Structure 1
Amino acid sequence: MIANCPKAGSNSLLRKALATLLAHSAIIMPCIPGASAAYGQETSEIVVTAQRREQAIIDVPIAVSVVNAKQVENLNLSTFTSVAQQTPNFNITYARGSNATPDLTIRGIRGVASNGRLNESSIAVYVDDVYLGDETSLAGQIFDVERVEVLRGPQGTLFGRNTTGGLVQFVSAVPTSEFTGKASALYGSDDWVALNAAVSGPLGDHVRTRLAGQFERHDGHHRNLATIPGIRKKLAAKKVWSIRSTTDFDLGDTSKLRLQITKSETDSESTPNFGFGVWRDATKALCSRSEIFGSKCVDAVVLSGQPPQGKFHSGDAITELSRDELAIVQGLTSVTAKFETELGAASLINIANYSKFRSRIGIDGDQSTSPSARAGSNVYVQLNNRTRQFSDELRIQGETNSLNWVVGLFYYQDRKTNDNFINVRNNAGATLQRIQSVARVDTKSGAVFGQADWEFADRFTLSAGARYTVENRELKIANATLLNVLPTQNVLARVGDPDPVTKDITGRLSLTWEPTSDNSIYASYSRGAKSVSYSTFYSNPSPAALAANAALTGPVGQEHVDAFEIGSKNRFLDRRLTLNASAFYYIFDGKQELLSVADLSTGVPISTSRFLNVGTAEIYGAELELSYAPSRRWDFSLSGGLLHTKITDTPLILSSPRLGVIPLEGLPLPQTPKWNMSATLAHHIPVDGMGVFTLQAEARAQAKQNFVLNNDPIVDVPSYGLVNFRVMWESEDRKYNAQLFVTNAFSKDYFANLNETTFSAGSLIAQTGEPRLWGAKIGVSF
């Protein structure tokens, strides 16, 4: 929420120095928005709930970034990726396109949860204080939000579950006591239509409600290069609708009940990959990187007589599959009840949630490198998942002149089931093999937690908190079957410990000094833990592979992190300039990572994956966020991060088809670019009688990164930058608005993912980024 507050003075000498420096600066960088204010907006306080109570962001001793409601609307933020673009050292990628499950990484901690979706990410996702056990279920929930908070670093005290990397909290807009509403309509590339609306107001003296909904669809932003007669040319279509009702009931003078119901349905498509040959010719001599990505090389498919492909561009993909086969069909129903009451010197809050989520994702698994899209046998993968979860959190919190405190209990349980199929077919579409994996994991978790913030001296605050968690993640089913050929293999019966119970103490200790009301410096230590995980995506269901499948299954042990951080938050020039900086050092024990491999037992490479504990790792880096509004006509913001990761101690040695035996010790963690930067530049032009026009440039850039555990440099994703442009208008009374925009304005060709799991067949597999897109949007509020 944004709350107005009086301006606070700052040191006049420092103010003059900064004003002189910024006024004479010769460097202006176009960028992606951080905290730009609308024209005419008064200086305001950014309030967050990073510590489960409303606080000014400057008072929170945590590295937290906020995307407010205005930014969400202006930037059309409907995906996780859009949120990540606002946050330093926050990286989101998609192995199967932006309609599918995101892979979240904060400060080098990758939150992959595997194909089976039985596990949970190291980056926790919350919606209105409710933990999502499967972040895929967020797909239709990013609408009508008040703000998005990104907390970097382990949050093992007040949030607790699987937050070794950090968390993302979506805060929905709440019912109002007066009748209000808003609506917007967008039209753009590939018949892209997005509709959003919300209406809010009283239903009586003691009841207020808000009803919000969204609908988004397009024909697909990717192009199918397959040359099969009659094949469709648009890929990765999207269709999502969602509705949310939030109703507040006043129960007497001191109590309130909020009932929230969310329903979402998805009927979209996954995005097929694009393959590159790596051999120069039939001698299988390795090409150079420039030759590979220039599409000048061949693989086993092309050597067998299939035609080679042309040079790649963002938005390219190849598939022979139909829309139904690539379908992503999902449904979410969620009900939350939040009860609050005043107890005199304290408040009691109870939040209970029940959610159920189903998902079916179709994937082109043969990952073709030829526009023929066929090579004798094709792989089609179906991932079917169902989740039911219940959580309840009870908190009691209060404050005195020098002490803020909170204590609470938390209970969480879920049942996750997957039913996955690998279908190997010939060019005529006849099924040669059909492999089924079925698994189920039941989770029960309970915790007690507490935190106290004590201002023990003028401008000095000591915060201490701890959480004790007992958790059981029991593997209930684990089967592998070669359908109609072999009997079902009961993998569960061979798993050594399918019913592990873990107990953890996590927490946080920090010291904050606020020399003025506009400056704070903090130092902190925090500890986080992540649950055990399982690998249940089996590609070889033969009896001979039973023992190997059981060993593959796990459970994979927990990961723990000890994090040390220092930071400073500052406001200068009557709060027209904000500057936040942080530096951190992590020690990881048992870091969970995903190893992707190619199974050749079917005669065609099938990419599969498994979890590993890679041992001990260290991570350190720094971050900066700056926003500056020199006048009501200009807004400027810049954020960036530096990152270093290294596996420091591990017994693991991998076998790579290109590099041979690779010790993991000394290698960086996957998906960790050494630097990233985002920024924005906005110029507001007021026109009498018409309102305000805004010209805005946005950009994000990042260093090269590698997606595979063995860090093979042949699959380094090169550094790249993307630029967007936007022209916006808002009426003088702020009731009406409109915009024209273009993203990836310079049609940059880049990769969203790249791996070498099929290298033994002479190819690399890529997920290409989105091409240049355009759109127009109009909106009204009342």
Structure 2
Amino acid sequence: MTNTPLLTLTALSAGILVAQGAFAQQSRLLEEITVTAQKREQNVNDVGISITARTGDQLHAAGVRESKDILRVAPGVLLDSVSSGSLASNLTIRGIAQSDFSPTQESPNSIYIDDVYLASSSAAAFPIYDLERVEILRGPQGTLFGRASSGGLAHFISKGPTEEFEGYAFAEYGRFNSINLEGAISGPISDKVRGRITGRFEDADGWWKNKLPEGKDTMENKFYGVRGQLEADLSENLVANLIITYDKKPEHESGNYKGIVAYLDPVTGAPAPLPADVDAYGTGPGNDFNGYRDPFPNAQTGEFNNIGLFRNEKMTGTLKLEWSGDDLTVTSISNYTDFEFDYVEDCDGGPVNYCAYGLGQELEQYSQELRATGTSADEKLVWTAGLYYLNISQDSYISFEYPSLSGSDFAFSDINIIDQGAKSYAAFGQLEYQISEKVRASFGLRYTKDERDIDSKLYYLELGNGYFGGTGTTVYDLPLLDYDFSPETVGALSSLDKDLWTGKLQLDYTPDDNTLIFISASRGQKGPGFNTNSNGALGLNETPYGSETVWAYEAGTKMALAERMVQLNVSGYYYDYNNFQGYTFAAFQNIVANYDGEFYGGELEINASPDDSIYLSLGISYLHSTLKGIPTYSGVQDQDGVLAPKWTINGLASKSFDVGPGSLTLQWSFDYIDDRYASLDNNFATFVPGSFVHNARVSYFLPDQDLEISAFVDNISDVDRRNFAFDLIASGGNAVYSYAKPRWWGVSLRKNF
């Protein structure tokens, strides 16, 4: 850790401890948040799971404007895109990640929106609007959620229709001509029907500056979305809720990287920065394959081609039926989701049109969940049982081309066309029994039948003889089918069928009303899958990879201190992985393979509010990760996990003052992410350095008018925060990096009614 986060951590911790001494004279209680982490409503502090829960208002105040911003409030959690835009945002929890950005892959940490699983990682970066709360659950959630939740999950829950008429309007203007507009109206339609409709619009110029004479700035933002809800009392006991959401990001400039010239050090054989006086590629001292070396020190400035674009579109409909009796609740959740996207990037990040990478997806998914929750007459036993079905079908493509090599001996252009289907059938149950006044035991078990099939074909659209060691012009009859992983050629290898067993055993001890101590053992699994072939380097035998299994052991406590004005949550865990699905990237090829390993660490979260005017929070996460037998430049050895920082820290402090007819609130927040790697080989080219980012917000609230005026600055120090890294030494002579947004400021107005 650097000195900055250490000093910040020390100061904030000391401030919280000092403040506790004065809390006894106050009456302020922390806001209690209700969660549905166990498929029923409970106070978050009564649930023996490591959970970070934040309301929509808390997220707004913390500057969480899109799903990727949750790292600001949840220690040990990342949701970064591999590109600097919105492509393939994979959720990482406690160092558990699936960083392969191929559209066919699923993460071991699932994202749910209104009880519905989100299958595509390219749909995981989305604006947050009109949100009731987010629940981030750490550790295997394989009993009640199941699908791809062996590492944890994030559940985003929208605000629902209300009994009384209400609404709001929000407008924000910020740097790079960013405009955000949002509004909602909710209330009764009749005595038995309620409705809510919400909309959001976003537009911003590109923040990655292009210095070419005809160059266009990239990383624009364009989005609009609308969500409508109808809730109806069909009978005294039966309530129906229909949610229809349509979100779209129209085509806009995106897709770029910052390149650093690199080579294989002749002494160590490992990747290293290329010295400015060394001509490694015959293109001039310090230059890459194309004779280029980036002269711009700023990470968000460069010279690049105007080929990058991104667009996506998602429509989802969910019908929730809930029947409630005295001691029994039966819930049905039906969902249909249609999602598609297209993406192109300048994958070399330089002015020569050397490399272009594109991918896209058309995905349909249908899911049906039916569950029942009941309580015994003596209220000592609570049980949940259910069935779940998921069907995913998708057509995807991945393409690579080298325009500057077209027509030469080294001409290269290919496309991998993929048709993949996945089905999941599950039955699950969980029992919670109150053994004594202070001890509760829980046992859960889930059986899942996981089926997956694929038809994957790679075609060369142009290929020079030079790629096979010869010379001369292209002599192939193009398109040339080079790789065919389909039922016709590989038979049963193109289908995977796996029985998965997951479950949990837990003991909760509540010595008093303010303390919960829990200990648990869980078994998590994620089904097998298929690699995609991005550049023809993948062999047929490397296409399938096996399922992963984790035994997770965890203990923790949740304590309300100082007359419930301080909430302290602490947890520690140990994960024993068999066949962990680890990700390696080399020479434009993604490879997921199975490795054994272990992860252990813990989190500490403190939330404190001494009075109505002060709120303090601090989150700290520590992680140690080891995966065994990883191929590297230095041979086979143990390595750190992908995107597995040893430390992550986040904090927030706010203070309100009575000023005139309203209240003025000053807020400061920060987050620190430690060093990490973007590939299991853990080499220089895939290194992502640690970074400390802090933000400030000031707001003025007029209660008589229910009006808030705000201003904010994010990333005050304008830190170049690196998100991801790729080793392109073998194919381009460089390493390329994606980055988060630079310093951003804005002003906003929100009116509630």
1:610 maps to a residue whose letter is: I
| Residues in 2 aligned to 1:337 and 1:141: alpha-carbon distance in whole angstroms | 22
SS in 1 for 2:14: coil
Is residue 245 of structure 1 aligned with residue 228 of structure 2?
Answer: yes
Residues 419 and 438 in structure 1, CA contact (< 8 A), matched pair in contact too: yes
The letter for the 2-side match of 1:469 is T
Return the alpha-carbon distance in structure 2 between the equivalents of residues 425 and 289 of structure 1: 26
RMSD: 2.8
**Contact 1:473-1:501 at 8 Å conserved across structures:** yes
> Structure 1 residue 107 and structure 2 residue 84: aligned?
no
| 287 and 389 in structure 1: CA distance in 2 versus 1, 3 angstrom threshold | closer
Could you report, residue by residue, the CA deviation over 1:490-518 in whole angstroms, capped at 9, with x for unpaired residues? 33244461111100110111100011111
Q: Which shifted more, 522-531 or 86-95?
A: 86-95
Call closer, same or farther: CA 1:428–1:75 in 2, change over 3 Å: farther
Look up the SS of the partner of 1:27 in the other structure: helix
**C-alpha distance 578-317 of structure 1, shift in aligned 2 (>3 A):** farther
The structural deviation recorded for 1:487 is 3.3
Q: What are the equivalent positions in structure 2 for 1:611-690 lying under 5 Å apart?
A: 611-613=592-594, 615-648=595-628, 650=629, 653-654=631-632, 656=633, 659=634, 662-664=635-637, 666-689=638-661
Secondary structure of 1:278 counterpart: strand
C-alpha distance in 2, partners of 1:770/1:679?
20
1:734 to partner: Cα distance: 6.6
Q: Does 1:312 align with 2:272?
A: no
1:184 aligns with 2:170: yes
Residue 44 of structure 1 and its aligned partner are, at CA, apart by: 3.1
Structure 1 position 75 matched with structure 2 position 54: no
1:458 corresponds in structure 2 to 437
Deviation of the 1:345 alpha carbon: 2.7
Separation of aligned partners in 2, 1:75 and 1:622: 23
1:172 to 141, 158, 164: 158
How far residue 235 of structure 1 moved from its aligned partner, in angstroms, is: 1.1
Question: Are 1:264 and 2:251 counterparts?
Answer: no
The aligned counterpart of 1:491 is 485
Report the equivalent of 1:723: 694
Provide the rounded CA distance (Å) in 2 between the counterparts of 1:734 and 1:663: 66
Structure 2: distance between partners of 1:304 and 1:517: 66
Structure 1 443/304 Cα, relative in aligned 2: closer, same or farther at 3 Å? closer
Is the counterpart of residue 552 in structure 1 residue 548 in structure 2?
A: no
Q: Choose 756-765 or 632-641, whichever is displaced more.
A: 756-765
Alpha-carbon deviation of 1:141?
A: 5.6
Residues 30 and 566 in structure 2, CA contact (< 8 A), matched pair in contact too: no
Residue aligning to 2:329? 347
Aligned equivalent of 1:442: 421
The equivalent residue for 1:143 is 129
Structure 1: distance between partners of 2:206 and 2:310: 13
Whole-Å Cα distance in 2 between the matches of residues 304 and 748 of structure 1?
Answer: 29
Secondary structure of the corresponding residue to residue 500 of structure 1: strand
| Secondary structure in structure 2 of the residue aligned to 1:164 | coil
- Summarize the alignment of residues 24-63 of structure 1 with structure 2, pairs less than 5 Å apart: 27-28=14-15, 43-63=30-50
- In structure 2, do the counterparts of structure 1 residues 616 and 26 end up closer, same or farther at CA, with 3 Å as the change threshold? closer
Q: Which runs of structure 2 are paired with 1:707-718 in the superposition (5 Å)?
A: 707-713=678-684, 715-718=686-689
2:215 equivalent to 1:231: yes
Structure 2 counterpart of 1:334: 316
Alignment of 1:313-392 (within 5 A): 313-321=298-306, 325-368=307-350, 373-374=351-352, 378-392=354-368
Partner of residue 199 from structure 2, selected from 200, 213, 219? 213
- Secondary structure (helix, strand or coil) at the match of 2:541 reads helix
Q: For residues 403-422 of structure 1, what are the structure 2 equivalents within 5 Å?
A: 403-422=381-400
> What letter is aligned with 2:340?
R
Aligned residues: 711
1:779 aligns with 2:744: no
Q: What's 2:570 paired with?
A: 581
* Comparing 384-393 and 105-114, the one that deviates more: 105-114
TM-score, structure 1 normalization: 0.86
TM-fit CA distance, 1:120: 0.8
Q: Distance in 2 between matches of 1:705 and 1:566?
A: 26
Contact 1:99–1:238 (CA under 8 A) maintained in structure 2: no
Q: State the distance in 2 between where 1:716 and 1:423 align.
A: 26
Q: Is the 8 A contact 1:298 1:762 kept in 2?
A: no
Indicate conservation of the 8 Å contact 1:316/1:768, yes or no: no
CA–CA distance in structure 1, aligned partners of residues 241 and 416 of structure 2: 41
- Check conservation: 2:255, 2:310, Cα contact below 8 A: no
1:536 Cα shift?
1.8
**How many angstroms apart in 2 are the aligned matches of 1:773 and 1:208?**
38
Shift of 1:288: 12
Amino acid at match of 1:236: M
For residues 60-114 of structure 1, what are the alpha-carbon distances to aligned partners after superposition, in whole Å with 9 as ceiling and x for unaligned? Answer: 1100001211122223423222112211111222221232221221011013243
Q: Determine the C-alpha separation between the residues in 2 that align with 1:140 and 1:720.
A: 23
CA contact (8 A) 1:482 1:488 kept: no
Secondary structure, counterpart of 2:504 in structure 1: strand
Q: Please tell me the residue identity of whatever aligns with 2:332.
A: N
User: 1:247, CA displacement in angstroms?
Assistant: 0.6
Which secondary structure state, in structure 1, belongs to the residue aligned with residue 32 of structure 2? Answer: strand
| Partner deviation per Cα, 1:138-158 (whole Å, 9 max, x = no partner) | 444621110011000010000
* C-alpha contact (below 8 Å) 2:30/2:608 kept by paired residues: no
From the superposition, tell whether residues 403 and 304 of structure 1 become closer, same or farther in structure 2 (CA, over 3 Å).
Answer: closer
Give the match's secondary structure for 2:642.
coil
Determine the C-alpha separation between the residues in 1 that align with 2:112 and 2:219.
Answer: 27
Whole-Å separation in 2 of the counterparts to 1:303 and 1:290: 13
Structure 2 SS opposite 1:204: coil
Alpha-carbon offset, residue 477 of structure 1: 4.3
- Quote the offset at 1:304 in angstroms: 6.9
The CA deviation at 1:367 is 3.6
Fraction of identical pairs, as percent: 27
The match for 2:554 is 565
Structure 2: 5+ residue stretches without partners: 1-10, 18-25, 463-476
How far apart are 1:578 and its partner, in Å? 0.5
Query: Corresponding residue for 2:720?
Result: 749
**TM-superposed deviation, 1:609:** 1.1
Deviation at 1:549, TM superposition (A): 3.1
Q: Match of 2:343, SS?
A: strand
- Equivalent pair of 1:330/1:357 in contact (CA under 8 Å): yes
d(CA) in 1 for partners of 2:33, 2:344: 42
Within 1, Cα distance between the matches of 2:709 and 2:498? 53
- Equivalent residue in structure 1 for 2:740, among 769, 773, 777: 769
**Once the 2 structures are TM-superposed, how far is the Cα of residue 137 of structure 1 from its aligned partner?**
2.2
**CA separation of 1:257/1:41 partners in 2, compared to 1, >3 Å: closer, same or farther?**
farther
Distance in 2 between residues matched to 1:303 and 1:436, nearest whole Å: 25
- Give the TM-score taking structure 2 as reference length: 0.89
CA spacing shift, 1:722–1:297, aligned 2, 3 Å: farther
Whether 1:608 and 2:602 are equivalent positions in the alignment is no
Deviates more, 1:340-349 or 1:412-421: 340-349
The amino acid across from 1:687 in the alignment is: V
Report the CA distance between 1:528 and its aligned residue.
1.1
SS state of the match for residue 527, structure 1? strand
Residue type at the aligned position of 1:395: R
**CA shift digits 1:698-720 (9 cap, x unpaired):** 11112211112111246433222
Give distance in 1, aligned partners of 2:516 and 2:603.
16
3-state SS of paired residue (1:195): strand
Deviations 1:275-325 (A, max 9, x none): 112369xx9889999977x9898764526784532243242344212xxx3
SS where residue 87 of structure 2 aligns?
coil
Does residue 258 of structure 2 align to residue 274 of structure 1? yes
Q: Structure 1: which 5+ residue stretches go unaligned?
A: 1-23, 31-38, 599-606
2:116 corresponds to? 130
